[in-house]
Structure formats: C-alpha cells, structure tokens
C-alpha cells in the first residue's frame, strides 16, 4: 500500500477534528435543550393535573391565620376555599388586566380586603371590570356591605419581571397581584400572603364579574422539545454530509 493515500487519509481525518468538536458541542447543547423541555413538560403536566383536581373540589375551610406564613404556593395554589367576612371597600385596589383569556377587552381586577370572621384579613379578587368602570361610583351595586359568604380559589402572588410597569398605589393601581405590597400600602394587619379569586356570580349589581381566573395554561413544551431534537438530527445529517465530502475530496 502506497504511503501517499495513508497520509491523505490521516490529513483528512485531522481536518475533521475542529469542525467535529464544534458539531459535538452544538449537538450536546441541542439535546440538552430538548431534555430540559421534556422536564418542563412533566412539571407543567403536574401543575395542570393538580389544578384540575383542586378547582373541581368542594370548598374547604380557609387555613387559620397561624398557618399562613408556613404555606407553600404549591400546597395551596388553586385550592377552593370558603370564606366568611366583611369587605373594606375603602381600601379597594385595582390590578390592570390586558385583553385576553376570559376577557375580550382590557380592564381591571378589583381586589378588596375581606375582614374574616375568624380573624385576619385576606385580599379577594372580586372580579373584572372594564376600564370605564374603574371608579367605584360607577358600580355601587357591587359594593356588598355587611357579612358575606363566598367561595374562591387561593392564588399565589404574581411574579414581576423587568418589563412590569411601576405600580401607582396613590391611584390604587397595580400591575401584578401582589398581596404583600397592597397590604403594606393600606396598612392591613394580619393580611394573608395570598389572594382569593372569587367564584363567578358572587356579587350583585353585575360588576365586578367573578370567576375571572384564567384556567387555560399553555403547554407547548413537547413541541419545543421536538424542535430541539429535530435540530440535533439535522446537525448530525449536515455534519455527516460535510465529513463525507471532505474525505472524498481529500481522497481524490
């Protein structure tokens, strides 16, 4: 066997080392992203399953004040509970709600502290009102006085992100459901670190409209995972063709 073909073959193989390493790193990254999306899929399916079980259950008593600080969101999110207390409409807050989900127009979620008969206060998301009904004077029929009984879903505070607009407490306007910030502004004592989304048709007068909880959770993680895995297979195919052409060229 001639020495020249062997040298050419070795040269061709060495020329594939650098692009091969780059391709291997890219392949590992793509597969890792696919695996991460599959893990996210399991996490999201667990949330959807837990939510479905809780929203259809009968209302349970609200945990007592002494347990609130130790409650973890995963343990109570979407749990249906029953409440008895009186609203403090003078400390109403509004959280902006963009059009989407159950609402076809932008508006406000009306959050009102409820002084519980059992002690403590919890901020109740009484429901949605359009922008034109932000002022309490435009919906006096919904300002329920005295003791009320209602049911709703326990909700964890909404997280903020770098794009969340600044709240304007002096206007009673917030951009996330933040019970801690709202309670601090109104100087509420023994306030719950969670909110309650009131069930539908809880209040007279038509507004706010209860049942505003968006129960449709997007779950596209499987398609995302298949995209990353598909890109990984494409990369393998492209590199195989590249290597074959490089070896063939050097052989000639």
Return d(Cα 224, Cα 38) in angstroms, integer.
9
Residue 88 near residue 115 (C-beta atoms within 8 A): yes
Residues near 156 by Cβ (< 8 Å), separated by ≥ 6?
73, 76, 77, 194
Residue 93 scores a pLDDT above 70: yes
- Mean pLDDT, rounded, of the chain: 85
The mean pLDDT value for 11-30 works out to 84
The mean pLDDT value for 167-175 works out to 90
Residue 198 has, within 13 A of its CA and on its CB side, a CA count of 28
Return d(Cα 98, Cα 192) in angstroms, integer.
26
Least confident of 12-21, 116-125, 174-183, 200-209: 200-209
Residues near 139 by Cβ (< 8 Å), separated by ≥ 6?
129, 133, 205, 206, 207, 208
Residue 162 scores a pLDDT above 60: yes
Return d(Cα 252, Cα 249) in angstroms, integer.
5
User: 103 falls in which pLDDT band (50, 70, 90)?
Assistant: low
pLDDT of residue 213: 76
Q: Which is more confident, 4 or 169? A: 169
Strand partners, 97: 107
Strand residue runs (E) in 88-205: 93-97, 107-116, 121-130, 147-155, 173-174, 191-198
The torsion angles phi and psi of 216, rounded to 5 degrees, stand at: -100, 105
Which residue blocks in the chain are alpha helix, DSSP H? 3-15, 17-55, 65-68, 73-76, 179-185, 221-251
pLDDT of residue 100: 58
Return d(Cα 12, Cα 41) in angstroms, integer.
43
């Amino acid at each position: 066997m001639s020495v020249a073909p062997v040298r050419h073959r070795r040269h061709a193989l060495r020329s594939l080392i650098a692009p091969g390493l780059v391709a291997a790193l890219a392949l590992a990254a793509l597969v890792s992203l696919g695996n991460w999306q599959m893990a996210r899929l399991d996490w999201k399916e667990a949330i959807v399953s837990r939510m479905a079980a809780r929203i259809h259950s009968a209302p349970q008593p609200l945990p007592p004040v002494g347990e609130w600080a130790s409650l973890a969101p995963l343990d109570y999110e979407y749990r249906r509970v029953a409440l008895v207390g009186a609203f403090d409409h003078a400390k109403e807050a509004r959280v902006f709600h963009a059009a989407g989900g159950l609402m076809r127009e932008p508006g406000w979620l009306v959050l009102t502290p409820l002084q519980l008969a059992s002690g403590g206060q919890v901020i109740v998301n009484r429901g949605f009102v359009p922008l034109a009904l932000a002022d309490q004077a435009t919906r006096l029929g919904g300002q329920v006085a005295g003791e009320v009984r209602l049911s709703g879903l326990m909700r964890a505070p909404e997280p903020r992100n770098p794009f969340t607009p600044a709240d304007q407490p002096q206007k009673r306007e917030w951009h996330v459901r933040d019970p801690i910030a709202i309670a601090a502004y109104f100087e509420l004592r023994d306030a719950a670190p969670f909110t309650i989304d009131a069930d539908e048709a809880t209040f007279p007068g038509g507004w706010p409209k209860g049942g505003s909880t968006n129960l449709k959770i997007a779950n596209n993680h499987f398609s995302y995972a298949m995209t990353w895995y598909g890109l990984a297979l494409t990369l393998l195919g492209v590199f195989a063709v590249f290597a074959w052409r490089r070896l063939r060229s050097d052989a000639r």
